Structure 1
Amino acid sequence: MIWLSPVFASPQVDNGYDISDYRAIDPIYGSLDDMDELIAEGKKRGIGIMLDLVLNHSSDQHPWFLAARSSRDNPYHDYYVWRDGEPGTPPNGMKASFGGSAWEWVPEVGQYYFHQFAPQQPDLNWENPDLREEIYKMVNWWLDKGLAGFRIDAIINIKKVLPFRDFPPTAATDCAPSAR
């Protein structure tokens, strides 16, 4: 088995863990044709190819998020975790794992989106069945291409305890407290 760290299209804010297209290879690693060839050549040699896949969040440059941030009425809006608030007053005091608030204001919709990591990595809303269906289709698309499997990054983070409660700081760190 050959395990490839994130090679999907990405603005590379977080070393490829901010995916902007789940069905494309970032040009710094080659092309989709190159990946098809790698999968085929690996199969000839009895070597499976496994991709590192991020399902907790996407890039803020992903077409879903670009549509989501354009309007509350856009069907992709519910692909992400949003909360009402006022500019400069996040919904609660949760901190992102990479530091700072876990909430980012979007004036176009008058809401905050949630990000457990970098602000450029908005969390996906796994409570939305349409999002889940899109993810399942993408995973099966890769498996149909002959991919051997995935290593799923940050999988423990996809389930959110909604609504988010406000937690007092737990220590002198800038990490998000775990919800119970």
Structure 2
Amino acid sequence: MKNNNKQTAWVMFAGLGCIILVGGGLAALVIGFQKEGFLRTSDVGDLADLASVQEQLRPLDACEIAYRRWDAKGRRRYPDSVTMRDCDSNTFSTIYIKVPTTWLDQGVGFTMSRGSRSERWEILVDKDEVPFPALKEALEHFAPIIAAQYPGKLSEALAGEAEFHRSVDEYRRSLEPKESVKSSYPK
């Protein structure tokens, strides 16, 4: 009787594992085929036509640049800005740099990412949605704007976060005497 119970439990666990595996696979397919999903985007960062963009943006202390990403409701976010994040996560905020909206009607949208400053940029686009000539033109126009403004915006973000941390530390220090007064009474 005990052997039969063990076998039944094993079959249940195996069946549950298969259900989870199939469900996870289906979820990955659904997510991958959504707009800008990992199964629809391609890395065009190696194309020779984009070498000048790679070179202009290589020295920046940034590891993510995005333009016109889709939000959860299927709308393009920040149509007049490029959003950026630094490599070292020194700042928790997203940096926004205003760019011309010339390419809105042409469907230009991209995500650039890399693991560190020494790596090349992966430029991920949905080739079914973004025409290459418009992408190239937009990137060539955005690159000098980004290269010029990002260092100052990063400094501002870091200074703002340092000020925030100073004010939090100051607030905590202001609470310390109150706690020590409470503990000064005998028990």
Could you say which TM-score interval applies, normalised by the shorter chain?
under 0.3
Q: Where is the helix percentage greater, Structure 1 or Structure 2? A: 2
Larger radius of gyration: 2
**If the length of structure 1 is used for normalisation, what is the TM-score?**
0.23
Give the alignment's TM-score, normalised by structure 2. 0.22
